[in-house]
Structure 1
């Protein structure tokens, strides 16, 4: 009934809009052409994300930033995470490839993967209700193409009460809506890697009160890492149509995305020295920042679905995202009240298939380590298929193999429905203004997938040439099959089948009193959630013996086909609720300066990270401890903002406390990577700076965040007082550029100081600075030639190291940013 009520409210809002539609649109200045708009600086003095009503940044007690479309084009980011690294306060680990990055904000912990405390939105509504679903991060279902007018962010503060499950902040991709006449088309290509892409957009006015925008892209290529196959392929198409009328608008918006990308996890990297002063270096014939163990030869494996039916998995399927969405947005006046209604339904599905290395070890000990003592290693595929490896100690010049997992999620349904209805009014109280806002947020997030793992052995060689390796027992009988050791995953219980529905209903409200130069604000939100469905996994007895290759010989691996029968199904049926609040004060003594303070309490509801753990009762599906249903976050902020002519500067001090229940990917005592349940409390405090200046053709923007974060309590008492893994003391961004009518030249530098590889605080990860350079040339009107170089100085930039301390063998598994890569493009405006 709650959802029906929301739908009824939406229908009333639509009716009111249609009744008002005949009114005349307000007169405005002639719109800019697309070419003129590309040469005009974006006005980012107003913030609309994560606040009750759009307002001047100096009048808002929040920390905000924005990146305009022209800036996005210059950055030339190769992924969403690479783009978000340019936002102050955001820590984005961009080593996974184009999608499934890891994100956090202002020292809030990144215990697992994804974006737990940071919500990623598209046009003001969340892409997914939860930002940290395992291997299903929101950035997988969005793309930054020519449809994006700007990327807007809000950190802390009112995000706790104007969005569910976003206590840390919001990043919002805002689309063009046809205000600009015309469009453009661009062709781009990788100069030192294989990638070809075409982007386009077009918009304008169909009448004085009707406008539209369409845009999208299509691309194919290998990408900056050497895989040996076309792993990135697909595209997107988006549109919106807006009808304006006196006092508001009605907008219809739609999107179709069908795109596949290759994802990368940790790969072998050499390390010597000491925990405090390690020396990392690429290995012979394998460069961790250029190469990938996902190769032309790591392709198909047999599997049995949860219902026991045979099928195959192809690692080359990568991350495949399919989105079909339709949305409605309206804003109109009823008397003195302003009504805003925004809803969207997105049918989302796809698959995630990745090569996930678990352990790197010398090839000469592999037969002993994996159950074939005195056996042999034989190539299972590739150009050397069938050949025995006679000198494993010198294999490929490094003598290494990896024990890897093939991770596959077949995502049947990740549909998301979101509706946000709000009303607001400004009341005159003498010389003061009181702005009141009330709203109802309503969402449903489906989560239905089948997750499958199998483990296999492959050699360590670059150039997209890594091949699978079979184990043959000493008596000549096969141990593995096509490189696979077994088909149940590294441990029992890793074959998952989930069918859940998450419902969220959240009424909220705010008051903001402006008395001259002083504004006082307060907001409140009450989130109630309901989770229903079933889940199942495989048990030790759920194993079959199958002659998968029909050769009449049963390899040891063929006795280990796992499945999760429907009789293993267990219920999930629990609810939660929590209250969020935020209070603030903003004082603006002059047009150029303001001071603010804010205290907030928000929370993040638990999602799939507590599934298959003792947190959920196996009998009735309820929470064993209701406190794990959500994780509270308390934050305090004080700041000053200055803006005068060509100069602006914002400085914010922050403090946060977090209670966290999560599953963390980490190595066990034997170095094998797996999931561990963690229950902890964290604290973080620091200072965030953002500023910029423009003088003539020269401009400079910069940001920096200093953070001191600690583990306050943990399931392992030895971790208390330590710094969370990967948390640096300083992250920074700086972007100088010089522009004339003929050309623009500049650079985008992003850096971090060192951090610890794991929470044990032993092995250090070095700091780094990556520099992206760009030049745009405008030889004639409406034509732009661009040249971008990412990671100009080919820096070995580590975002993750799996080892907690220096490995005795001198090799670890690590994740890096891409090496230097260059892109050229030509863009025509019309």
Structure 2
């Protein structure tokens, strides 16, 4: 196996950057920089170290700087060491450890499906939640096709902790996030020090260098800088380098009277593989299926990536021919600059200004198995009766392929190459807040008025093609098809330009749109005696402008420039840019949230909240029939409303913490699913209710943190598929749970995290069940001395199969048992060394 390694020059350069204080101009902020944090020098003292710390101050989507115990919102936080111990490898991995969240992190470093308290994931992404860096959105919308926020977010040593606010106040303090806010909060150099870490895969090929360093420069100025570099094949077999790139982030903070100024920057340029569904065997019944690997292809470690198929030629919407390297996968590029200031004004008023400009771009490239069958059957589908096969790639290229034994299993797959260029996913966000605290009727009252503005660009170019590939992982070959007369119908394994199997208009699209959000908001928070009462309103106004175009027809194009128009080149789909359709509409919506918290004692509190939020739809409307010919969109299509009610109890003692929340929500949704034989339009209303429990037990050397969520969710209205009414939403499990014990014994730390889910349905209408599973991650760490630590980590210790998605249409057990599905990673073992500066 080819095993690329980090060069000496790369290591030396990275270490130099990590230790160089002059490199202090780079990225975002800390807990003192989000919403209503205390000014520097006024932070609350650090609470005792507990796995679930209810005394910790809340800074995300909060009306005032309050502890979890004193606030009326449902919030969880994960410290950097907890994230490390959980075995999280991506942003979505981190969220799996939070009650109320179902994060399907089986797609690699991006494209995760994330749901909150039964709010639906009908077509991918995190539609009703928002990913933030230091309180500012990574992207304005959580479910943009092929460009989800987690794709542009790479956690590393820069992260101090993560706060997750579910429901309630997120409707007032964020746009397009009625379900939750996931806030990744970075370090800002209050204390001198940092870390250097090297991580290498034990049972897979990957090398990674992480580093960070920060310190005060003088009494009023401090900095922090960090990042990572990596290289390798990754945890699934591809037999070539699929992970390559890195990130640099940092910030510089200067304290002023009653406030601070901060400059931050980020540069990310990273490639990682897009893990899409793969061919599998599903037998048994829809209610009790047996999901297993096919002969010669492991569904937990296999992909359709192969060194024998690295390039794709496609016709872009602008008429240019694009040569794509399949190693690009998620190619995420971020050039971001941020600024923040907290100013004390006259008469006790404070002004908090924050902005972030992010130039986001990249690519999404991944092979998707649109159809799996015997090689003989697919040859006849493509070439008719009497069709034959030849190898198009690999050591046997040009030789006749026996359809009964090809790939050592007689199977093949019609692959749709999801090839999407993202030239502009950039955004600009600005949040300005004016706050004043005064005494009112026996308690402090905080008045806050804010104004939020953002512009989100969505510019994409889809150019999908169709290939025929053997089902055998890294040794897979592309196949050519010949008809009964011996005429070659394919082109080096390419069956057709475009994806006519799903319809000629499916795989060639171009968007050039932008969405401006403006939102004034008000909040009042009052704390008389043991009460904390708050109320807030937000008025969101969105302006959508731009245009989009699809396939105009097919034409002959010499794609490879050899002077010969071969079979597939005779019918190349093309777009007509002059016939683009307009996007031109304005929408507005009023959101609100009311909450109350009552401290029965220092150890016990009750809380309740009611809220109404909204999610403004964006690119998912463009080809789903939601945009009318003049560019307008009906209110019911362009805006999806979420109403939520929640309440619960918090219990906090020296050794224990318990946070119990009951919830009830109704959700409207309009959407489209682009990854199916028949591209589905969705227009539904959902109802969900349940309870989430988070708690911890801390005694000396032993700590236990855990959570469990019960969700009862149903479709209560469906305008397009009435037979789905009464169904459980797809991929929504009744039970999701996590538990993490850890022990500290002298120089050793031991720990494990178990993350599990009960069964769920693969689609709507309900039919095929995805089985329950529990994934266990474990680690052992040894402190050699005060500076050096080594760790051995194993994710999915028991190598369980955890199915997160089944896609083959129809979604059911097929007569031949062949299907497509996506699983969590198999057992993944890696070792690391960390040096504390």
TM bucket by the smaller chain?
Answer: over 0.9
Verify the 8 A CA contact 2:168 2:609 in the aligned structure 1: yes
Larger mean CA deviation between 73-82 and 344-353 belongs to 73-82
Verify the 8 A CA contact 2:144 2:620 in the aligned structure 1: yes
- The Cα offsets for residues 49-103 of structure 1, whole Å up to 9 and x where unpaired, read as 0112221111111111111011112122222222210111111111111211111
2:392 to 380, 391, 404: 380
Equivalents in 1 of 2:221, 2:256: separation in Å? 9
1:527 aligned residue? 540
For the pair 1:652 / 2:671, whether they are aligned, the reply is: no
2:6 aligned residue? none
Equivalents in 2 of 1:237, 1:311: separation in Å? 29
- Cα offset for 1:43? 8.8
- Cα offset for 1:351? 1.0
- The Cα offsets for residues 322-380 of structure 1, whole Å up to 9 and x where unpaired, read as 11111011112213112211111011111111111111111111122123331111111
2:785 to 765, 780, 785: 780
For the pair 1:103 / 2:108, whether they are aligned, the reply is: no
- Cα offset for 1:545? 1.3
1:689 to 682, 693, 697: 693
Verify the 8 A CA contact 2:51 2:698 in the aligned structure 1: no
Larger mean CA deviation between 350-359 and 728-737 belongs to 350-359
- Cα offset for 1:617? 1.7
1:286 to 281, 288, 297: 297
For the pair 1:736 / 2:741, whether they are aligned, the reply is: yes
- Cα offset for 1:666? 5.7
- Cα offset for 1:605? 0.4
1:113 aligned residue? 124
2:97 to 80, 86, 89: 86
Structure 2 spans left out of the alignment, 5+ residues: 1-38
1:805 to 803, 812, 832: 812
Equivalents in 2 of 1:546, 1:373: separation in Å? 28
Alignment of 1:616-635 (within 5 A): 616-618=627-629, 620-623=630-633, 625-635=634-644
For the pair 1:508 / 2:521, whether they are aligned, the reply is: yes
Equivalents in 2 of 1:41, 1:275: separation in Å? 40
1:434 to 445, 451, 472: 445
For the pair 1:756 / 2:758, whether they are aligned, the reply is: no
2:153 aligned residue? 142
- Cα offset for 1:665? 4.3
Verify the 8 A CA contact 1:372 1:479 in the aligned structure 2: no
Alignment of 1:111-260 (within 5 A): 111-260=122-271
Equivalents in 2 of 1:409, 1:764: separation in Å? 31
Equivalents in 1 of 2:467, 2:51: separation in Å? 54
Equivalents in 2 of 1:349, 1:763: separation in Å? 37
Structure 1 spans left out of the alignment, 5+ residues: 1-23
Larger mean CA deviation between 191-200 and 355-364 belongs to 355-364
Aligned to 1:417, the other structure's residue is in SS state strand
- Cα offset for 1:558? 1.3
For the pair 1:362 / 2:374, whether they are aligned, the reply is: yes
Equivalents in 2 of 1:697, 1:41: separation in Å? 16
Aligned to 1:384, the other structure's residue is in SS state coil
Equivalents in 1 of 2:240, 2:186: separation in Å? 33
Aligned to 1:444, the other structure's residue is in SS state strand
Verify the 8 A CA contact 1:747 1:774 in the aligned structure 2: yes
1:472 aligned residue? 482
Larger mean CA deviation between 574-583 and 363-372 belongs to 363-372
Aligned to 1:515, the other structure's residue is in SS state coil
For the pair 1:711 / 2:707, whether they are aligned, the reply is: no
Equivalents in 2 of 1:744, 1:637: separation in Å? 37
Equivalents in 2 of 1:52, 1:829: separation in Å? 37
Verify the 8 A CA contact 1:26 1:246 in the aligned structure 2: no
Verify the 8 A CA contact 1:25 1:209 in the aligned structure 2: no
- The Cα offsets for residues 2-44 of structure 1, whole Å up to 9 and x where unpaired, read as xxxxxxxxxxxxxxxxxxxxxx985999x99xxxx99999896
Equivalents in 2 of 1:616, 1:461: separation in Å? 42
1:19 aligned residue? none
For the pair 1:825 / 2:821, whether they are aligned, the reply is: no
- The Cα offsets for residues 173-198 of structure 1, whole Å up to 9 and x where unpaired, read as 00000012111101110001000000
Residues 790, 430 of structure 1: alpha-carbon distance in 2 compared, 3 angstrom cutoff: same
- Cα offset for 1:559? 0.9
Equivalents in 1 of 2:577, 2:749: separation in Å? 61
Equivalents in 2 of 1:26, 1:813: separation in Å? 55
Verify the 8 A CA contact 1:753 1:767 in the aligned structure 2: yes
Verify the 8 A CA contact 2:375 2:404 in the aligned structure 1: yes
For the pair 1:484 / 2:494, whether they are aligned, the reply is: yes
Q: In the comparison of the two structures, how many residue pairs are matched? A: 791
- Cα offset for 1:519? 2.2
- Cα offset for 1:238? 0.4
Residues 679, 307 of structure 1: alpha-carbon distance in 2 compared, 3 angstrom cutoff: same
Verify the 8 A CA contact 1:42 1:68 in the aligned structure 2: no
Verify the 8 A CA contact 2:413 2:471 in the aligned structure 1: yes
Equivalents in 1 of 2:498, 2:146: separation in Å? 19
Equivalents in 1 of 2:160, 2:417: separation in Å? 38
Verify the 8 A CA contact 2:52 2:705 in the aligned structure 1: no
Alignment of 1:405-444 (within 5 A): 405-444=416-455
Equivalents in 2 of 1:200, 1:529: separation in Å? 40
Aligned to 2:679, the other structure's residue is in SS state strand
Alignment of 1:291-330 (within 5 A): 291-330=302-341
- Cα offset for 1:430? 3.5
1:349 to 350, 357, 361: 361
Residues 42, 64 of structure 1: alpha-carbon distance in 2 compared, 3 angstrom cutoff: closer
Equivalents in 1 of 2:529, 2:189: separation in Å? 36
- Cα offset for 1:142? 1.1
In angstroms, what is the RMSD of aligned CA positions?
Answer: 1.9
Residues 787, 44 of structure 1: alpha-carbon distance in 2 compared, 3 angstrom cutoff: farther
Verify the 8 A CA contact 2:51 2:703 in the aligned structure 1: no
Equivalents in 2 of 1:381, 1:773: separation in Å? 41
Verify the 8 A CA contact 1:492 1:538 in the aligned structure 2: yes
Larger mean CA deviation between 342-351 and 566-575 belongs to 566-575
Larger mean CA deviation between 37-46 and 429-438 belongs to 37-46
Q: TM-score, normalised by structure 2?
A: 0.92
Verify the 8 A CA contact 2:52 2:695 in the aligned structure 1: no
Residues 181, 521 of structure 1: alpha-carbon distance in 2 compared, 3 angstrom cutoff: same
- Cα offset for 1:478? 1.3
Residues 25, 799 of structure 1: alpha-carbon distance in 2 compared, 3 angstrom cutoff: closer
- The Cα offsets for residues 378-417 of structure 1, whole Å up to 9 and x where unpaired, read as 1111122111112x12323322111111111111111110
2:464 aligned residue? 453
For the pair 1:702 / 2:706, whether they are aligned, the reply is: yes
